[in-house]
Amino acid sequence: MRRKTLSDAGVADLKSKAARYTFPDPELRGHYVRVMPSGAKSFVAVSRDPNGKQVWATIGAADMMGVEKAREDAREAIKRIRAGLPAIEQKKATETFKDVSDAYLKRHVAAKGLLSEKEIKRCVDVYVSPRWEKREFIGIRRGDVATLLDEIEDSNGARQADMVLAIVRGICNWYAARNEDYLSPIVRGMRRASPVKRERVLSDDEIRAVWQQAGKAGTFGDILRLALSTGQRRDKVMTIRWDDVSVDGVWNVSSDDREKGTGGELKLPALALDVIRSRSRVGESPYVFTGRTKDGYFNGMSKAKVEFDKKVPIDHWTIHDLRRTGRSLMARAGVSSDTAERVMGHAIEGVQGVYNRHRYGAEKADALARLDALLKTILNPPAKNVVPIKQRARK
């Protein structure tokens, strides 16, 4: 007589035979214990799919699960087979932070041709992946993000922490848009730096303090000086190549079709040329401001800024403020707005921007010369009894 019940002890008592056989579970039709000649036992379920095909499914090894659990799983497997589904639901592989961030970089950043692609990838590689690369993505919580930002703020400053926060937020939002059950751990109030209006212009005293300390700050200091004396964007200053500057001191500011405008060809003034001529070529590096690798440029701005600020304790300022300061100084030096905007590389609106194709080479050279003269006056102010002659703006 067959047993009326099947217990764990009963499964253990089943003996192996010369050939494989199955022993039915009296309490669930379609559920069996499969016994191999080696003595290994496993729970299996069998049923027919909607096409009448018999489907066998292994539930699990008998030495790893009890009969009650096997019976429960077999019941579910039989239902799925009859519905035409795979007997065992395939669980989605766990996605790590690296899996998701790689997909984000490929399907969003690269696919959309974002100009910040290189910087986004650098921030992920330097600040996030070393800590989270193998972490389950959906397991990253708000506390994990806060801890990450704390570490970055302490070592690289609040601004860098906010840059990383923006990137992580972008990754999380992109993932949430593709997975209805995911909720991003990023919330309002996680920024580390206080929002600052983009109107900061350094005073004369601040310019002197920054310039003086820049002379002691190596490569980073030279970048600050060149940024202030030319008014060009930080990334253009950082990536200036030796080949970009001609023997007669004209800087052909590199440009990409997708980028904002640049100053184009700029006849560099004395202060800017002094910075470049003080630099030495390093091996085969094409960059004036070399980085850690033989073919890379200096890219430790955030950390260098934190150290720099410890020695120049002025109110919160950013490197971009030097560009705004340079533009304001040009106005103060009598440079027409039309010419100053072209030095900055800003788009010229309206009909003039469309039809005026003049290159403004001489005018831009004069603008930078005026900026240079004013900077020299600020850095070495005349005696109080000397009254400077005001310069009239060029029409």
Task: Write out pLDDT tens, residues 20-45.
Answer: 999 999 999 999 999 999 999 999 99
Question: CA triplet 277, 235, 188: central angle to 5 degrees?
Answer: 145
pLDDT at residue 54 above 60? yes
Does residue 301 surpass a pLDDT of 50? yes
Compute the distance between CA of residue 108 and CA of residue 104 in angstroms, rounded to an integer.
5
Mind giving me the DSSP string for 370-384?
HHHHHHHHHHSPPPT
- Superfamily grouping for domain 204-379: Intergrase catalytic core (1.10.443.10)
Q: Which residues pair with 58 in a beta bridge?
A: 44
pLDDT of residue 252: 93
Amino acid 49: pLDDT: 94
Averaged confidence pLDDT in the chain: 89
User: What crossing angle do the helices spanning 142-156 and 158-176 adopt, rounded to 10°?
Assistant: 150
User: Average pLDDT, stretch 106-129?
Assistant: 92
CB 70 within 8 A of CB 54: no
| Residue that wins the pLDDT comparison between 183 and 395 | 183
Q: How confident is the model at residue 357 (pLDDT cuts 50, 70, 90)?
A: low
Q: Does residue 289 have a pLDDT over 80?
A: yes
pLDDT at 134 over 70: yes
Lowest-pLDDT choice from 13-27, 33-47, 244-258, 329-343:
244-258
Burial of 109 (0-12, 13-18, 19+ CB in 10 A): buried
Average pLDDT over residues 209-224: 96
Percent of the chain exceeding pLDDT 70 equals 90
pLDDT of residue 20: 95
150, 190 Cβ separation under 8 angstroms: no
DSSP secondary structure string for all residues of 315-332: SS--THHHHHHHHHHHHH
Residue 353 in this model has a pLDDT that exceeds 60: no
Q: How confident is the model at residue 295 (pLDDT cuts 50, 70, 90)?
A: confident
Q: Please compute the mean of the pLDDT values over residues 297-320 and round it to a whole number.
A: 89
Under 8 Å between Cβ of 203 and 317? no
Task: Tell whether domain 97-176 is in CATH 1.10.150.
Answer: yes
Taking the whole predicted model, whether its pTM rises above 0.75 is answered as no
Read off the pLDDT of each residue in 332-358 and give the average, rounded to a whole number. Answer: 78
Average pLDDT on 2-20 reads 88
Tell me, what's the pLDDT at 8?
94
Regarding predicted confidence, which is higher, 146 or 357? 146
Structural domain boundaries in the chain = 8-82, 97-176, 204-379
Under CATH, what is the fold of the domain 8-82? Double Stranded RNA Binding Domain (3.30.160)
pLDDT in the model for residue 143: 94
- Tallying the residues shown for the chain, one arrives at 395
pLDDT for 190 equals 94
- The answer on pLDDT for 257 being more than 70 is no
Q: Who has greater pLDDT, 339 or 389?
A: 339
Residue 385 has pLDDT above 70, yes or no: no
Report the pLDDT value the prediction gives residue 254, as an integer from 0 to 100: 84
- Residue in 159, 165, 167 with CA at minimum distance from that of residue 188: 165
